[in-house]
Amino acid sequence: MAGQIDARLKELAIELPTPAIPVAAYVPAVRTGNTLFLSGQVPFWNGELRCVGKLGDTFTVEQGVEAARLCALNLIAQAKAALGGDLDRVVRVVKLVGFVNSTGDFTDQPKVINGASETFVQVFGDAGRHARSAVSASALPLGVAVEVEAILEVA
């Protein structure tokens, strides 16, 4: 039987990607007590890497927002896998940290990471509201435009 969050995903016509397999020496999620730490996710979609490039050069803010949204969907997919398929166990999204591969003069990192923040609020409602950092990086793994990590409180 589908839970409330699965029903919300269906209502919003949001499909989650297959959780990506780590490309280095880390695990996608670590739970300690009621805290679930999710490793940074990049814009993969079912094994296909998307959004390779730099904001302020090859990507617009709007394209960056979409890349951040894709990172958020990957984070939610990783959370679902870590929680045995039950996203209703997410009590609160505590914090997101977003990294934006951008030129030195690009200053719209917060606008880009809004793509992830707004996705979490869409999916989890008020429990999706979170603290956040949005920072610039001169390069990111695999050359992607955005990477986002998350900390969740879970039951």
Say what the pTM is. Answer: 0.97
User: Do 98 and 113 meet the contact criterion of CB atoms below 8 Å apart?
Assistant: yes
The residue segments making up the domain with residue 54 are 4-154
The token pair that represents 12 in the structure block: 């919003």
Domains in the chain, number: 1
Q: Are 39 and 28 in contact (CB under 8 A)?
A: yes
Q: What is the CATH number of the domain that holds 128?
A: 3.30.1330.40
Query: Per-residue pLDDT tens for 101-153?
Result: 999 999 999 999 999 999 999 999 999 999 999 999 999 999 999 999 999 99
Alpha-carbon distance 143 to 96, whole Å? Answer: 21
pLDDT digits (tens, 9 = 90+) for 60-88: 999 999 999 999 999 999 999 999 999 99
